[in-house]
Amino acid sequence: MYFLIAEMESQLPATSKPSNEEETCPKTPETYRKIISTLPREDGWKAHGDLCLYQNFWCYSYGIEGAMFAQDHYNAQPTDIFLCSFPKSGTTWLKALTFSVVTRTHFDNSTTPLLLKGPHNCLPLLEIDFCRKGIKPEPGSLPLVASHLPYASLPKSINDSGCKIVYICREPKDAFVSMWHYTRKLPHGVQEPMSLEEAFELFCKGVSDFGPYWDHVLGFWKASLERPEKILFLKYEDMMRETLLYVKRMAEFMGFPFSLEEENKGKVRSIVEFCSFENLSNLEINKSGKYAPHIPVENKTFFRKGKVGDWKNYLTREMAEHLDEITEQKLGRFDLSFDDV
């Protein structure tokens, strides 16, 4: 463990560590932007501009500004439940499932707000909505908040107040391929979308939105081992294989367990079917609606194939072996691995 952290730190440019200015500046949007303007940058993915290195993760500047704001101002409530993920790891699905579980006594499949809003519009994203739209957690409101922030960069109040966290991760080759497709669909202005090979190289170096992928996963994995009662670590592939089982486990963990009566009446199955890729991706709102976190994104961009192992259609054997080697090197010693998909 110490070797890995030391190794990561030695690879980081000195400026990525908090500067004196960062520690002493009064916190206003201008000072956040000033700090961001000094951060190390990489171009390449170009979905929302350059990626900047902040607190050892890469992110677009608007995400970093949101992270800084949330770290300074987010006042987590003990009842908040955080849905955390590396991008393209099953966030949309997790949002739909948890939203359905938590609101099931208010709505059924014919009345759920998921029919009128995409999953991303049904619950806030910490680093975007809280900062940009001023959404504040209120007593009695939906306890679900999503975030792509690494574990170490979550606002301190989340751990201090004992919130629960559900983390979903995905096999890295599939997460990479999904991210590459997603990024190509975003508006690029005059830029050409990046080739798969270029994106692959950056991803392997750890340079991707909220990357390095492996650090993100590892942060939550270790935390889930230390505090299993507070952090539930899920894998997309397991969820795909045994959705019913994991939805029940997740509901119980969140404090919204299904009763035997609900199970017998098919409530779990009905939520699972409603939130399936086939059903969600065919809802009109997800075919024609928009999500507008920073630049408008069509809801359909969040639904591509929803399959395990789609990387086989895009990566060469050498690329796959290379990514597998990095994964084994970074995660193997922590007993974290993925099914051979």
Q: Which residues are the active-site residues?
A: 148
Q: Does residue 181 interact with ligand PAP by CB under 6 A?
A: yes
Q: Does residue 210 interact with ligand PAP by CB under 6 A?
A: no
Nearer to ligand PAP, 52 or 146 (CB): 146
Contact 91, 146 (CB under 8 A): yes
| Strands of 144-147's sheet in order across | 144-147, 81-85, 164-169, 231-235
Q: Does residue 112 interact with ligand PAP by CB under 6 A?
A: no
Neighbours of 305 (CB within 10 A): 13
Q: Does residue 243 interact with ligand PAP by CB under 6 A?
A: no
Question: For 60, how many CA atoms within 13 A lie in the half-sphere containing its CB?
Answer: 17
Contact 312, 287 (CB under 8 A): no
> Of the candidates 287, 305, 312, 333, which one interacts with ligand PAP according to CB under 6 A?
305
**Residue 256, SS3?**
coil
Region near ligand PAP per CB under 6 A, out of 3-11, 45-53, 266-274, 296-304? 296-304
**Residue 57, SS3?**
strand
CB of 146 to ligand PAP, least distance (A): 8
- Stated as kind and residue range, the H or E segment containing 261 is helix 260-264
> Of the candidates 249, 300, 304, 322, which one interacts with ligand PAP according to CB under 6 A?
304
Region near ligand PAP per CB under 6 A, out of 38-46, 81-89, 200-208, 227-235? 81-89
Q: Does residue 280 interact with ligand PAP by CB under 6 A?
A: yes
Contact 196, 180 (CB under 8 A): yes
> Of the candidates 64, 275, 323, 336, which one interacts with ligand PAP according to CB under 6 A?
275
CB of 102 to ligand PAP, least distance (A): 17
CA distances from 338 to 174, 187, 206, 283, 305 (A): 11, 33, 19, 31, 20
CB of 180 to ligand PAP, least distance (A): 9
DSSP 110-137: TT-GGGTS-HHHHS-BIIIIIHHS----
Contact 310, 179 (CB under 8 A): no
Region near ligand PAP per CB under 6 A, out of 154-162, 225-233, 276-284, 321-329? 276-284
> Of the candidates 56, 91, 100, 153, which one interacts with ligand PAP according to CB under 6 A?
91
Q: Does residue 234 interact with ligand PAP by CB under 6 A?
A: no
Q: Does residue 306 interact with ligand PAP by CB under 6 A?
A: yes
Contact 247, 271 (CB under 8 A): yes
Nearer to ligand PAP, 69 or 302 (CB): 302
Q: Which residues of the chain form contacts with ligand PAP (CB under 6 A)?
A: 85, 87-93, 174, 178, 181, 275-277, 280, 302-306, 310
